[in-house]
Amino acid sequence: MTQQIITYDIKPTKLVPNSPKPLLLYKGYFLRDGKVDSTLAFNTFKENGWDTQWVATYGHYQRSHYHVDTHEVMIVLSGPGKIRWGTADFGDDAHNHTYGTASEDGALYSDANVGDVFLVPAGVAHKSYNPTATNSDAIGLAGGQTMLSEDTRKSIGELEVSGFTMMGAYPRHLVCGWSEGGDHVGQFESVWNVPIPELDPCLGRDGGINDYWKCY
C-alpha cells in the first residue's frame, strides 16, 4: 500500500456539526493490478477492530447525512463517483439538492476513485452519488449481520462490482445511525466527543488517526 494521506478540515455549519477532526483520504490503498483487493481491505479493517457492515453501488442521488455515534471508513471498490462533504440538503427535490442549489453553501466536493479510502469523523455530512448512474438510489450488494460471518470473509472478494461502489466499516460493536442537517443543533459538542478508536482501520497503530486525530 502507498502511504499518501490527504486531510480536509470541515467546519461546522448552522445545521451540521461536522468535526474538529479532519476527514482523511488515503489514496490508492489495497490495490493489486489496478483493482481493489476487497478481501484484504475487509480483513485489514477487521484485524484493526473495524467491522464491515455494507457494500453499496450508488445511484444518481443520495441525501446528505451524518453519523452521531460512530466514525466511518469507506473504500471505493469501483468508480469513479462523487462525494459532497460538510453541508445539509434543503427540501425533498433530489435533483435540486444534488445538482442544483437546494443545499447549504460551502461544501467540499471530491472525486472518489478506485482505491480511495475515506475515514469520516462522526458528525461530518456526506452524500455519495454517481452522475452517470441509471438507478436513482443506492443498491445494497451486502449488509447486516451476515457481513460479520466467516463466509463473508471468504466471499467478499467474489462480489461483482460496477459503477460507483463502496464498502463501509465501523468500530467494533457500533452501528451507524442516520442524521440529517438540523437534527443536532445545540448538541454539536456531544458529536465531536465520540471516542477515537484505538487503531486506524488501514494502518493499525502507525499513522492515520494516530497522527491526525489523537491530538483532539
Distance CA(176)–CA(156), nearest Å, equals 21
> What's the CATH code, domain 5-207?
2.60.120
Q: Percent of the chain scored above 70 by pLDDT?
A: 93
Cα 201 from chain centroid (whole Å): 12
Q: Are strands 72-78 and 35-36 parallel, antiparallel or unpaired?
A: unpaired
- Tell me which DSSP letter residue 143 carries: E
The band of 160, judged by pLDDT with boundaries at 50, 70 and 90, is confident
- Count H helices, E strands: the chain? 5, 12
Residue 141 pLDDT = 82
| Domain layout of the chain by residue ranges | 5-207
- Reported as a single tens digit per residue, the pLDDT across 35-56 is 999 999 999 999 999 999 999 9
Cα distances from 181 to residues 12, 71, 85, 96, 157, in angstroms, run 11, 17, 12, 16, 35
- Reported as a single tens digit per residue, the pLDDT across 116-132 is 999 999 999 999 999 99
pTM above 0.85, yes or no: yes
The band of 146, judged by pLDDT with boundaries at 50, 70 and 90, is very low
134-153 mean pLDDT: 72
- Reported as a single tens digit per residue, the pLDDT across 162-216 is 999 999 999 999 988 999 999 999 999 999 999 999 999 999 999 999 999 988 7
The band of 151, judged by pLDDT with boundaries at 50, 70 and 90, is low
